[in-house]
Amino acid sequence: LEDVLNICDHEQPYGVIVSFGGQTPLKIAKALEENGVNILGTSPEGIDLAEDRERFGALLRKLKIAHPKYGTAYSVNNAVLVAEQIGYPVLVRPSYVLGGRAMEICYNGDAVREYMKKAVDVSPEHPVLIDRFLEDAFEFDVDAVSDGSDVLIGGVMEHIEEAGIHSGDSSCVIPPYMIPSESLEEIKATTVKLAKALKVLGLLNVQFAMKDGVVYVLEVNPRASRTVPFVSKAIGIPLAKVAAKVMVGRTLDELGVKDFDFRTLQHISVKEAVFPFSKFPRVPVFLGPEMRSTGEVMGISHAFGGAIAKAQMSAGNSLPEQGTVFMSVNNSDKNDITLGIAHGFVQLGFAIVATEGTARFFNENGIAAERVFKVNEGRPNVVDLIKDGKIQLVVNTPLGEESRYDEYAIGWAAIVHKVSFITTLSAAATAVKAIERQKEGNLTVRTIQEYHHTSPTPKALSL
């Protein structure tokens, strides 16, 4: 705060924008205003309303917007009590963290107690936040710009990975591909309602989850999110520039973007995360609520499979077009979705090898699968096959402490030998579509301007 005030004292700026720097500028916005600094964009009062859990929860109830149950804990026993009141599973995290650091999903009281012992070391000066975790939910992100009257919905991004994977690690797609039109309209309407209630002037990011047809608001950030560059490239409108102009008095109507509708796009854009696993030996390679990615890439195509394939290539994860797929799924994933994925690989000409339980599940349901040993069951095991080049793709969705040793060994072998490695069923399903598109041989390379030639950037934005 002191450094920023010194700069303002020296430079005497007309105003300061706090919505392009993540959480840190938001936390000092009120103090800046109290020291006479003119805050451009959303007011510190609006920021505080979105950031304060109790105030924001009251706002959601007032607006009749669904949201997961939540609570705050200051001790181990208090945390267990709050979690039981909310209902398991719960998502627990220290307050005021970014990137999902020290965030975990807990399924019982013992897990909460164990977490609290670690959380005290992570953030002793802040309480622990506890939210109901919506299992098997679909997640969505919305980036929008409000001028105080009208709201531009830049895009609704559908996460490819299921809930529980940090949004920074999850692949996402614009336009969304698996959401009923009425739910999409509800997401858009809720975003507009929140922007107006918070009196947002500039950028707004809203995170949603949908479970059993109900749309829930998970979080609202009155600032730029990490997805703004992706959305801007996907839709052909520079949202940061729009927001900056709005914050100094322009309107969306004046800028020519008031009536933009992302559903009219003629192409599909996919964001894929880039991970540093090859640089950090033995780091856990399985995704969860704590963010692990260090970058992201984008794939664009007129077909979903093509966009996925391009994104994977850009991330350095080129998918094989032939060979053998190793599959090992936990018991909760032994369902029709997994059978459909395995059938898709077989239809594409792949052979399937699997651990004992998964192989039995496939064979009992008419899908030929050869059993392969786990790491400690015998030789040659799955790691041996990866090292010998006999496996071209790994799909592994483990669960629990007992599978952790195998997880690390298989994951690290795949990374060392540059074998594509997938840890969620949703990602495996999209891989089938991507490989199918690759094998058709019609992936094309075009400039981004060619994709946007039907919706050029409004002239007002070039001023």
What are the tens digits of pLDDT across the range 315-351? 988 899 999 999 999 888 899 999 999 999 999 999 9
Lowest mean pLDDT among 6-15, 30-39, 415-424, 429-438: 415-424
Q: Which residue has the higher pLDDT, 96 or 449?
A: 449
Is residue 272 within 8 Å of 169, Cβ to Cβ? Answer: no
Architecture of domain 69-132: 2-Layer Sandwich (3.30)
The winner for highest mean pLDDT among 46-55, 139-148, 169-178 is 139-148
pLDDT tens column, 409-420: 888 888 889 899
What is the value of pTM for the model shown?
0.86
Please give the single-letter amino acid code of residue 310: K
Task: Give CA angle at 49 (47, 52), nearest 5°.
Answer: 100
State residue 331's pLDDT score: 86
Band (105; pLDDT cuts 50, 70, 90):
confident
DSSP 402: G
Query: How many CB atoms lie under 10 A from the CB of residue 284?
Result: 15
Is residue 342 within 8 Å of 430, Cβ to Cβ? Answer: no
Domain ranges within the chain, ordered by starting residue: 2-40, 69-132, 138-266, 277-440
pLDDT tens column, 350-371: 999 999 999 999 999 999 999 9
Band (400; pLDDT cuts 50, 70, 90):
low
DSSP 318: P
Q: What is the mean pLDDT of residues 105-120?
A: 84
- Distance (Å, rounded) from C-alpha 362 to C-alpha 369? 6
Lowest mean pLDDT among 113-122, 152-161, 305-314, 317-326: 113-122
**CATH of segment(s) 138-266:** 3.30.470.20
State residue 458's pLDDT score: 61
User: In angstroms, what is the C-alpha Rg of the chain?
Assistant: 24
pLDDT tens column, 40-58: 999 999 999 998 888 999 9
Matching residue, tokens 């009251």:
58
State residue 96's pLDDT score: 57
Burial of 246: CB neighbours in 10 Å, binned 0-12, 13-18, 19+: buried
Please give the single-letter amino acid code of residue 390: K
What are the strands, taking DSSP E only, across 116-213?
128-132, 138-146, 151-159, 172-174, 202-211
State residue 455's pLDDT score: 53
Q: What is the mean pLDDT of residues 292-298?
A: 91
State residue 122's pLDDT score: 45
Lowest mean pLDDT among 89-103, 167-181, 278-292: 89-103
Q: What is the mean pLDDT of residues 248-271?
A: 90
* Peptide bond just before 281 cis, omega within 30 deg: no
End-to-end CA distance of the chain: give it in Å, rounded.
Answer: 33
Q: Which residues pair with 209 in a beta bridge?
A: 139, 216
pLDDT of 285 higher than 80? no
Lowest mean pLDDT among 162-171, 273-282, 403-412: 403-412
Could you tell me which residues come within 8 angstroms of residue 364 by beta carbon, excluding any fewer than 6 positions away? none
Question: Any alpha helices (H) in 348-441, and if so which ranges?
Answer: 356-364, 382-387, 404-416, 425-440
Task: Please give the share of the chain, as a percent, with pLDDT higher than 90.
Answer: 62
The winner for highest mean pLDDT among 186-200, 387-401, 445-459 is 186-200
pLDDT tens column, 421-444: 888 888 999 999 999 999 998 788
Is residue 137 within 8 Å of 159, Cβ to Cβ? Answer: no
Q: Which residue has the higher pLDDT, 398 or 115?
A: 115
State residue 121's pLDDT score: 53
Q: What are phi and psi of 352, to 5 degrees?
A: -120, 130
pLDDT tens column, 243-259: 999 999 999 999 999 88
State residue 283's pLDDT score: 73
Class of domain 277-440: alpha beta
State residue 101's pLDDT score: 58
Q: Do domains 69-132 and 277-440 have the same CATH topology?
A: no
pLDDT of 384 higher than 90? yes
Band (37; pLDDT cuts 50, 70, 90):
very high
Burial 39-78 (b: 16+ CB within 10 A, else e): bbbbbbebbbbbbeeeebeebbeeeebbbbebbebeebeb
